[in-house]
């Protein structure tokens, strides 16, 4: 008989602090990422939040995903933002997105018109795995399965070209890594007249240091792309041809592979046919493996418009480990590269910065151009566990727990000091802390 695991007092206290962060970010039935900077519901944030709640509050975890999918578009698109009523502070808000131009937009919900990485099936499966009320979990999965299938179906129907199964992103925000150097060349090729960019006023710089946020140069291009989507009424076919930004992103597709595997697991539990989801996973995994960069022992994004690989190397190129894509030999080379670029935090762990510190563009506090992001390192942690690198995984786990323990629950952290930056009281940092605290040691869930 398995003995209950007793958490050390410090871990129990940290877990209570993390739960308090989630509760403080509650808005109605869902959880916002942070009180000021992100006051609405974000798609992949909610998936991680559900995983954080999974061991502690099953109903909250299930509700987080149910409410998100209630705003799903009729063509299966899962929007990256669902706007809360009565909070008009955020830019771009519903009036900027104008999704009502689309025949597919949902009735009764205000949303954005783009997507984020599809980790939702993984979140739903984790909620089921840790459920104390098994009947409720099965009812939850039964309701969510067709919506998850429609979400993945949208990606394969509207976002792939050819037979390689690689989904495209059409906006940097769809990657979840907004201003990563991965997008510099693609965004730099977007040329327009001043009148081509709709008027806007940034709000993000009012709640955070300007030096830590994307530039106005970036935001002009972000807004230009949204206007393009509006002008095409969010119809995928003309956008696919007209959008100057089209990238087959490694992280997005690695998450898609694993989510397909978890969607298949959900189908099997419910007695449904899992074969279509396994086929999707196999197809995308094979396509993703084709993005292998042997020279740098990593995976490289593919710039569709440029017709070749993106030259920038970031920690996101290692995320196929999370999905079990590389061979053991390739995985070993990737882990060696990770260890060579990782940064030690304190005396018992290391983390991967979003951009290597030896890259001339590295800035330790500038959003996705250097800081340590818990979400990215969580993916790498699971990748290391998957390939049997448990000691290395344990070090990432320890570091990810120690960062908020000593520096608070921030959006991201300076890899050189461990100091938190970006949004404060950040929900997914709290959620991932709860998830990692639920593991006794690397790969052994309690």
pLDDT digits (tens, 9 = 90+) for 45-58: 999 999 999 999 99
pLDDT band at 429 (very low <50, low <70, confident <90, very high): very high
In a domain, 370, yes or no: yes
pLDDT band at 365 (very low <50, low <70, confident <90, very high): very high
Q: What local confidence, expressed as pLDDT, does residue 209 receive?
A: 82
Which residue has better confidence, 211 or 120?
120
Q: What's the rounded mean pLDDT across residues 81-96?
A: 90
Tally of domains in the chain? 1
In a domain, 336, yes or no: yes
Is 1's pLDDT higher than 70? Answer: no
Is 442's pLDDT higher than 60? Answer: no
pLDDT band at 445 (very low <50, low <70, confident <90, very high): very low
Q: What local confidence, expressed as pLDDT, does residue 440 receive?
A: 64
Contacts of 1 (CB under 8 A, 6+ apart): none
CA neighbor of 277 nearest in space, from 124, 74, 80: 124
Q: What local confidence, expressed as pLDDT, does residue 7 receive?
A: 55
Mean pLDDT of the chain: 95
In a domain, 216, yes or no: yes
Contacts of 171 (CB under 8 A, 6+ apart): 114, 222, 225, 226, 229, 245
Rounded to whole angstroms, how far apart are CA atoms 245 and 256? 20
Q: What local confidence, expressed as pLDDT, does residue 443 receive?
A: 54
Q: Which two tokens stand for residue 314?
A: 């970031």
- CATH code where residue 281 lies: 1.50.10.10
Q: What local confidence, expressed as pLDDT, does residue 212 receive?
A: 85
Q: What local confidence, expressed as pLDDT, does residue 6 receive?
A: 40
Q: What local confidence, expressed as pLDDT, does residue 434 receive?
A: 98
Which residue has better confidence, 335 or 199?
335
Q: What local confidence, expressed as pLDDT, does residue 439 receive?
A: 85
Q: What's the rounded mean pLDDT across residues 355-365?
A: 96
Is 154's pLDDT higher than 90? Answer: yes
Is 444's pLDDT higher than 60? Answer: no
pLDDT digits (tens, 9 = 90+) for 236-260: 999 999 999 999 999 999 999 999 9
Residues belonging to the chain: 446
C-alpha 2, offset from chain centre: 34
CA–CA distance from 213 to each of 204, 207, 367 (Å)?
8, 10, 6
Is 24's pLDDT higher than 50? Answer: yes
In a domain, 119, yes or no: yes
Q: What local confidence, expressed as pLDDT, does residue 87 receive?
A: 72
Is 3's pLDDT higher than 70? Answer: no
In a domain, 4, yes or no: no
Q: Which two tokens stand for residue 223?
A: 């807004």
In a domain, 3, yes or no: no
In a domain, 232, yes or no: yes
Q: What local confidence, expressed as pLDDT, does residue 277 receive?
A: 99
Rounded to whole angstroms, how far apart are CA atoms 55 and 120? 17
Q: What local confidence, expressed as pLDDT, does residue 446 receive?
A: 41
Rounded to whole angstroms, how far apart are CA atoms 383 and 394? 12
Neighbour count for residue 57 (Cβ, 10 Å): 17
pLDDT digits (tens, 9 = 90+) for 99-137: 999 999 999 999 999 999 999 999 999 999 999 999 999
In a domain, 158, yes or no: yes
CA–CA distance from 94 to each of 133, 238, 326 (Å)?
37, 22, 41
Residue 370: which domain range? Answer: 9-445
Residue % of the chain over a pLDDT of 70: 96
The stretches of 348-389 forming alpha helices (DSSP H) are 374-386
C-alpha 231, offset from chain centre: 27
Cβ-based burial of 2 (10 A; exposed 0-12, middle 13-18, buried ≥19):
exposed
pLDDT digits (tens, 9 = 90+) for 268-291: 999 999 999 999 999 999 999 999
| Active centre residues (catalytic) | 178, 411
Contact between 25 and 409 under an 8 Å Cβ cutoff? The reply is no
Is 207's pLDDT higher than 90? Answer: no
Instruction: Please give the model's pTM, rounded to 2 decimal places.
Output: 0.96
- Collapsing DSSP to helix, strand or coil, 412 comes out as strand
C-alpha torsion angle, residues 46, 51, 55, 61 (rounded to 10)? 30
Tell me the CA end-to-end span of the chain in Å, nearest whole number: 13
Rounded to whole angstroms, how far apart are CA atoms 4 and 7? 10
């Amino acid at each position: 008989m398995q003995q209950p695991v007793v958490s050390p007092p410090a871990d129990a206290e940290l877990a209570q602090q993390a739960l308090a962060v989630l509760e403080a970010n509650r808005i109605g039935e869902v959880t916002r990422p942070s009180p000021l900077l992100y006051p609405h519901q974000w798609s992949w944030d909610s998936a991680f939040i559900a995983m954080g709640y999974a061991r502690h509050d099953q109903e909250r975890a299930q509700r987080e995903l149910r409410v998100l999918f209630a705003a799903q578009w009729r063509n299966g698109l899962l929007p990256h933002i669902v706007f809360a009523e009565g909070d008009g502070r955020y830019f771009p808000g519903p009036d900027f997105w104008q999704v009502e131009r689309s025949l597919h937009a949902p009735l009764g919900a205000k949303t954005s018109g783009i997507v984020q990485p599809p980790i939702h099936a993984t979140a739903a499966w984790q909620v089921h795995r840790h459920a104390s009320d098994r009947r409720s979990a099965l009812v939850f999965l039964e309701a969510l399965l067709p919506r998850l299938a429609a979400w993945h179906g949208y990606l394969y129907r509207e976002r792939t070209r050819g037979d390689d199964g690689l989904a495209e992103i059409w906006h940097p925000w769809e990657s979840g890594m907004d201003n990563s150097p991965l997008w510099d060349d693609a965004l730099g090729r977007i040329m327009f007249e001043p009148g081509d960019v709709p008027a806007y006023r940034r709000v993000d710089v009012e709640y955070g240091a300007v030096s830590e946020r994307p530039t106005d140069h970036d935001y002009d291009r972000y807004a230009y792309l949204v206007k393009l989507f509006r002008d095409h009424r969010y119809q995928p076919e003309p956008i696919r041809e007209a959008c100057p930004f089209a990238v087959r992103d490694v992280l997005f597709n690695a998450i898609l592979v694993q989510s397909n595997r978890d969607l298949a697991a959900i189908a099997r539990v419910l007695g449904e046919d899992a074969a279509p989801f396994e086929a999707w996973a196999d197809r995308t995994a094979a396509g993703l493996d084709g993005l292998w960069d042997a020279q740098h022992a990593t995976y490289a994004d593919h710039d569709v418009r440029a017709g070749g690989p993106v030259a920038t190397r970031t920690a996101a190129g290692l995320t196929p480990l999370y999905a079990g894509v590389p061979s053991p030999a390739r995985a070993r080379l990737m882990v060696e590269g990770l260890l060579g670029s990782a940064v030690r935090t304190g005396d018992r762990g290391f983390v991967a910065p979003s951009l290597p510190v030896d890259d001339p563009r590295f800035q330790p506090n500038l959003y996705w151009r250097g800081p340590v992001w818990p979400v990215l390192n969580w993916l790498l942690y699971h990748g290391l566990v998957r390939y049997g690198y448990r000691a290395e995984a344990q070090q990432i786990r320890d570091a990810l727990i120690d960062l908020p323990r000593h520096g608070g629950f921030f959006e991201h952290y300076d890899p050189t000091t461990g100091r938190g930056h970006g949004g404060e009281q950040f929900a997914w940092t709290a959620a991932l802390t709860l998830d990692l605290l639920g593991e006794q040691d690397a790969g052994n869930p309690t």
